[in-house]
Amino acid sequence: MSAAKKKYKKITTKSLVEMKSNGEKISMLTAYDYTMAKIIDHAGIDMILVGDSASNVMAGHETTLPITLDQMIYHASSVIRAVDRCLVVVDLPFGTYQGNSRKALASAIRIMKESGGHSVKLEGGEEISESISRILTAGIPVMGHLGLTPQSIYKFGTYTVRAKEEEEAEKLKKDAKLLESLGCFALVLEKVPSKLAKEVADSLSIPVIGIGAGDGVDGQVLVTHDMFGMTHEFSPRFLRRYLDLYTDMGNAVKSYISDVKSKDFPSKKEQY
């Protein structure tokens, strides 16, 4: 068992802030189902994100916009059943919190009650501050998400690096401070220049978890299916692939097909 695993029996929002102040980097991966969550939690991850990237990864949609609250609750409750130690963050999907703080609170309460998730994540800054504040009044921990926010893809037009220009960088820094002052326990920064991400992380006492945000932040998050190499077409610069499961699983399927066709499977030992 790693030192971090021994030190924190269960990860809480408080232990994450402690990790930041001790200079210990925070690890986070996505999961959408029981089996994957079990592997990841038992390996010692600090946080699991039940991301709305499930819309792409699990359902094959082009964007994160179509996934519903009911579907997120289904994924989150499967993950929660597997987890013993890590903190589980659940994305509030598109259309369940923007422009209506009462609806935002109702959506967050449904996630907490029906999935057993430990916290929620919302995309955006000042525009959604009312929703964040209202959710926080119910004692629900909130993680912010700035930089590339995929629920706004039709506003951005592309998935390229955000906040390269001064004006957008200044707004991002202001939003990050605002999210901290509202009471968010942490922040995801997606696809922004590493210098800006470090500046934001250094200016906040809450942990900043990066994806494509460089090495100056307090932790890293990746989409598990990408880092396992299960997805093939997606190859951004920030992605490190730890396995090539697309090839390995494909080869396993080919071997199985061949064994079935050749009558090698099942053998005498593999039957009753």
Q: Which is nearer to ligand KIV, 235 or 262 (CB)?
A: 235
Catalytic residue selected from 130, 168, 190, 270? 190
211 contacts 185 by C-beta, under 8 angstroms:
no
CB 262, min distance to ligand KIV, A = 41
The question of whether 190 is a catalytic residue gets the answer yes
Q: At closest approach, how far in Å is the CB of 148 from ligand KIV?
A: 8
Bridge-partner residues for 211, per DSSP?
190
CB of 47 to ligand KIV, least distance (A): 11
Tell me, residue by residue from 88 to 127, as one string, x for binding to ligand KIV by CB under 6 A and - for no binding.
Answer: ---x------------------------------------
User: b/e string for 115-145 if b means 16 or more Cβ within 10 A?
Assistant: bbbbbbbbbbbeebbbbbebbbeeebbbbbb
Output 46 or 52, the one with its CB closest to ligand KIV.
Answer: 52
- Fill in the DSSP letter of residue 21: H
Return the residues of window 48-77 that contact ligand KIV according to CB under 6 A: 49, 51-53
Which amino acid is it at 245?
L
Position 29 contacts ligand KIV (CB under 6 A): no
* CA 147/CA 42 separation, integer angstroms: 31
State yes or no: residue 30 binds ligand KIV (CB under 6 A): yes
Residues 104, 196, 211, 227: which binds ligand KIV (CB under 6 A)? 211
Q: Which of 142, 223, 227, 230 binds ligand KIV (CB under 6 A)?
A: 223
Closest among 149, 81, 88 to 117, alpha carbons compared = 88
Residues 6+ apart with CB under 8 A from 94: 52, 64, 65, 67, 151
**Structure tokens given for 72:** 């997120």
SS3 219: strand
Of the residues 188, 192, 206, 217, which one makes contact with ligand KIV according to CB under 6 A:
188
Sites of contact with ligand KIV (CB under 6 A): 30, 49, 51-53, 91, 188, 190, 211, 221, 223
Q: Which residues are catalytic?
A: 190
